[in-house]
Every structure is written in structure tokens, then in C-alpha cells.
Amino acid sequence: MSLLTLKNRRERGFFDGQFLIAMPGMEDRNFARTVIYICAHSDAGAMGFVINRPQSLTFTDVLLHLDMIKQEDSIVLPKRARDFPIQTGGPVESGRGFVLHSDDYSSDSSIPVSDDICLTATLDIVRAISKGNGPTRATMLLGYSSWSAGQLESEVVNNGWLTCPANEELIFDRSLDDKYERALAGMGVTAAMLSAEAGHA
């Protein structure tokens, strides 16, 4: 599923607004021990963002790369901008930035992904954040995660993922090291309790 499909969707799918939590047996390195926030799900596929993978780039690096500031101006950025979190959202279009954010910021290009969370992938939000005028809660993600029609459903059935309703606090929590464990704890389980293979009655 693409960003265009997300923008043009008419109704929410079953996995919309859900977390995917990778099972311990996940073999794909891109997704081992990940927590993914699903922004869109339909018959056409699914799209979401990994919310617990760090990114070596800083927000200042992004601004410099986009020629939005000069090196000498980086020290006068608002503290919120200097500390703004950048994460790895997934393996698709990994050079492209997306901002998941609270709905107190909106532009013509912002897409609602839940009642309280929006997605913006244009430079206007980057400028707003750099000036300290961005949303109250936000994170930038480089790249996204995508599944073709029926692929996510198949992976869930084959015990690749646990699913549960997304927790907004966890989405924007900047502590990434133990986010996987905390997402599992929210379901009342630990990694040690989970089998790498689906059980059979």
C-alpha cells in the first residue's frame, strides 16, 4: 500500500490503529523485535511505521540535508527542534521522511490516521518543527513498512505477529530500547512466554 492509497482510502480496515508486535521467531531482519503502528489497512494491503528503531540521523542533519538551515545556524535552533526524534520507519522509501503527530497541527497535506493522530510527509511540518511551532507530540520516521493485498493477514495467521490496539503513549515515547518489551507487557505477555511457532489444539 502506498501513501496515495492511504490518502484516498474511504474506510478503515481491520488492522487500522493496531500495533503489530513481532513474534520471537520473526526471520526478516527488518522486522525482528519490532513494534509497528498500522496507519492503513484495506483489501489493497497495509501500511505502517516501525516505532522502536533508532536512526543515526538527527533532526539537524535533516535540516542541513534539505538546505533549510546553514551549519552555523544549527546552534540557534529551538531545543525542541534539536532534540526532535528521528526513527527508522521501515525498509520502503527509506530516504523519505514522514511525521506522525498529534492532531493539534494540520496542513493541507496532513492525513488523519486515527481520531487523534495525523501523518504529514511534506516540508511544511519540518519548517514548523524547526521554528518550535510544530505539533505537541510527534516523531519523524524515515521510510515505512508496507504489505501487499492479503500479505499481512497471511503473516498474522502464520504466527509472525501479535496484534493489539495501539497505545498513543507508546507511539510517541522516546525510550526505544525497551519499547518491544513494554508493548508485550501491555498484552500481559513476555517474549519468553511466546513460542516461535503457532500452537495447535
Q: How confident is the model at residue 3 (pLDDT cuts 50, 70, 90)?
A: low
Query: Cell triple for residue 87?
Result: 526513527
Taking only the tens place, the pLDDT of each residue in 167-183 is 999 999 999 999 999 99
Contact yes or no for 48/88 (Cβ under 8 A): no
Q: How confident is the model at residue 23 (pLDDT cuts 50, 70, 90)?
A: very high
DSSP string, the chain: --HHHHHH--S--TTTTEEEEE-TT---TTTTT-EEEEEEEETTEEEEEESS-B-S--HHHHHHHTTSS-GGGGGGS-HHHHT--EEE--SEEEEEEEEEEETT---TT-EE-SSSEEEE-SHHHHHHHHTT-S-SSEEEEEEEEEEETTHHHHHHHTTSEEEEE--HHHHH----TTHHHHHHHTTT--GGG--SS----
Q: Is the pLDDT score of 13 beyond 80?
A: no
Taking only the tens place, the pLDDT of each residue in 26-85 is 889 999 999 999 999 999 999 999 999 999 999 999 999 998 888 887 777 888 888 899
Count, residues in the chain: 201
Q: Is the pLDDT score of 120 beyond 90?
A: yes
Contacts of 26 (CB under 8 A, 6+ apart): 32, 33, 34, 160, 161
Q: How confident is the model at residue 1 (pLDDT cuts 50, 70, 90)?
A: low
Residue 141 bridge partners (DSSP): 87, 98
Q: Is the pLDDT score of 191 beyond 90?
A: no
Fold of 1-191: VC0467-like (3.40.1740)
- In this prediction, residues 76-102 reach a mean pLDDT of 91
Rounded CA-CA distance 121/115 in Å is: 18
Place of cell 525498509: 91
Q: How confident is the model at residue 196 (pLDDT cuts 50, 70, 90)?
A: very low
- State residue 199's pLDDT score: 47
Instruction: Parse the chain into domains and list their residue ranges.
Output: 1-191
Taking only the tens place, the pLDDT of each residue in 155-170 is 999 989 999 999 999 9
CB atoms near residue 97 (< 10 Å): 23
pTM for this entry: 0.88
